[in-house]
Amino acid sequence: MLCRLPSAFVLLLLAQPALANAPSAGRDAGSTRLPAISVSTRLPEDPSRRAESVHRLDAAQLDRLRPTHANEVLARVPGAWASRGSGQEQLLALRSPVLTGPGACGAFLVLDDGVPTRPVGFCNVNQLSELNFAAAGGVEVLRGPGSAVHGSNALHGVVAVFPRRPGEGSGFGLEAGAEDFRRLRLAVDGEQARFDAALSEAGSFRAEESHRLLQSTSQWQLNADTRIALASHRLRQQTAGFVVGEGAWRDARRSSNANPEAFRNADALRLIVHHERPLGDGLLLLRPYARDESQTFLQHFALGQPLEENGSRSLGLQLVWSQAGWRAGLDLEGARGWLRQTQARPLLTGTPAQNAIRPAGPHYDYRVEARQAALFGEHVWDWGAHRLSAGARIEWLGYRYDNRLPDGNNAARDGQPCGFGGCLHLRPGDRSDAFTGRSLQLGWTRELAGDWTFATRAARAFRFPQATELYRLQRGQSVEGFRPETADSLEAVLRHAGQNAQFEASVYTMDKRDVILRDANGLSVAGAATRHHGIELAGRRDFSDSAWIEGQLAWSEQRYAFDRVLAGNEVIRRGARIDTAPEWLGGLRAGFAAGANTLELEGVWQGGYAIDAANTRRYGGHVLFHLRATRPWSEGWTLEARLMNLLDRRYAERVDLAFGQVRSFPGAGRQAFVGLSWSGPQRHAR
């Protein structure tokens, strides 16, 4: 019933207690400040006392970075990689290989202003593109299983973006650069309201590839306890597909586009109310929200290039009560999603079997209603230099699925069976499914001498099967074959938080069960198992007010923990390295300042990796260098310049083996960008 009501109407009903206390125009602006929220707790937290491994980029770092893609942000996080696709597309790796397939994004929780960008069960592999990095006030990345507040999808980690708040100053920026890149950034800040927007468009070194992206965030600080935020996202993209063939990413083929007809249109809208109020001796956080998102794109990466249209509408409520070391909460969410997939023409370019099992016409057309509820609790014991934390969560997710096409795997257009064992696309009949997940965590932190801290943490996390994994089936599969993925992790962290030097070292091991993989023929494989081990280092040293060096380095060993012969005789062996899982990821940055002038040189290292499950072929990796500089022009105005891929290195953003072919996304060559920005004074400190 919840999802049948107009989203804005329900949200306003939930927000009535907060709206009733709206301030007068003369209220003191200095009191309109909600505390910064931690990605790992939803509440203020001392970073040095966390048992989780969390990496944060603040507003100053993001301003220096001026990211145009999530790849540039995640390149500064240990053990993280946002593999850049065409335009704004990406696939995420976080203490993991690059995970592919329609539900692989379910292994990562993506938060915007504390709320997941998508409902539970309706993730999107390109969901990082919906985050407004260009106007963000901070980015936090939790590596490894999430805490008890997170639940499903926080299997490998959490990526959270926080907006700049009212009072942090107005701003303006214009940028231009290689391949017709242009971007306008605007921030209008008042006493109790703020508007941030970023409009960008760009071409490409590849033929007929371009995109236009508009993102905005509006905020209203109603009083000291209540803030409303409205975020929007609109992407219009002409997509370039893979280049095909060994080494295509480094020769003349790199600029080609075999799929000029490919495109991606995506829209999203999120409305969030943040409200805090005293309750007993504690504090109650209420966060109701509404979301609406849709996208249409051509599956250039799939044989037959079907058109996919999908979307969802959802309402939810986050509730957290905290008091004297205790924290308890409730999450409620209702969503309605839909998906259609249609192949316009018969496939003629594959093998006879591939052509036969992919008929023209509709493949899928379904609706899914989802209901989610979760209870969680955490407690922290502090005694002297020690902190012990324990948390648990139980979560329930129910689906109600409605198929709009004939059941089974005959051709939906005429009901005829396909040759070679039947059509690929299997449509289950109408049904309901429910899953329960449980997460646990136990952490211990010990303060040591000289600003050093040691922490260790054991955690179990889960992720539910996504709607696309359950109901967009392929022949030989059944809904009963899918179960929630689970991960058991153990890690230890050593931190140093000095005035001029910071350092963190993490060691982890993680075992996953009931894993859902995507094979080289695009088929989902249920019941897999994998093992992940790694070491992550991060540090910064400030030599004076005018020089600094910082960087991160991650080594990982990620292997299959099961044996199976897949379709097409693809063989997975226990102990083999998982494909598209670089053994090494690293970055190093040296910065210099002369007055208000800054110069930063960055090196990004990606190690080699296997491109197929059998480990028969590899990509050798690459090292890239980037240069960024700023120079004051006049009061409040700054000139900016970026030179990306300084040495004009030929490299691949990602290489894989699929449908019997080596495919890659080639990386761009040397690119220059210049900008002019203005920043107004902050009304009060964050």
The predicted-structure confidence for 540-559, as pLDDT tens digits, reads as follows 999 987 899 999 999 999 99
Query: What is the per-residue pLDDT for 93?
Result: 96
Query: What is the per-residue pLDDT for 43?
Result: 60
Ordered by where they begin, the domains of the chain are 2-21+40-679 (2.40.170.20)
Query: What is the per-residue pLDDT for 2?
Result: 37
Query: What is the per-residue pLDDT for 185?
Result: 97
- Hey, what are 520's tokens? 């080289």
CB 444 within 8 A of CB 51: yes
Query: What is the per-residue pLDDT for 28?
Result: 34
Q: How far apart are CA 473 and CA 477, in angstroms?
A: 6
Query: What is the per-residue pLDDT for 617?
Result: 93
Provide CB contacts within 8 A for 678, sequence distance 6+.
Answer: 171, 172, 173, 636, 637, 638
Q: Which residues of the chain have pLDDT under 70?
A: 1-38, 40-48, 520-523, 567-569, 683-686
Bridge partners of 323, per DSSP, are: 326
3-state helix, strand, coil in the chain (%, to 5): 10, 55, 35
What's the pTM value of the predicted model, to 2 decimals? 0.92
- Hey, what are 565's tokens? 């012969």
Residue 34 DSSP code: P
Q: How far apart are CA 43 and CA 57, in angstroms?
A: 18
Q: How far apart are CA 155 and CA 512, in angstroms?
A: 9
Query: What is the per-residue pLDDT for 305?
Result: 94
Query: What is the per-residue pLDDT for 14?
Result: 35
Q: How far apart are CA 215 and CA 679, in angstroms?
A: 19
Q: How far apart are CA 490 and CA 503, in angstroms?
A: 20
Provide CB contacts within 8 A for 532, sequence distance 6+.
Answer: 95, 96, 508, 509, 510, 511, 512, 556, 557, 558
Q: Given the structure tokens 């942090």, which residue do they identify?
A: 168
Query: What is the per-residue pLDDT for 609?
Result: 97
Q: In sequence order, what E strands does 144-209 have? A: 157-163, 171-177, 181-189, 193-202
Query: What is the per-residue pLDDT for 568?
Result: 62
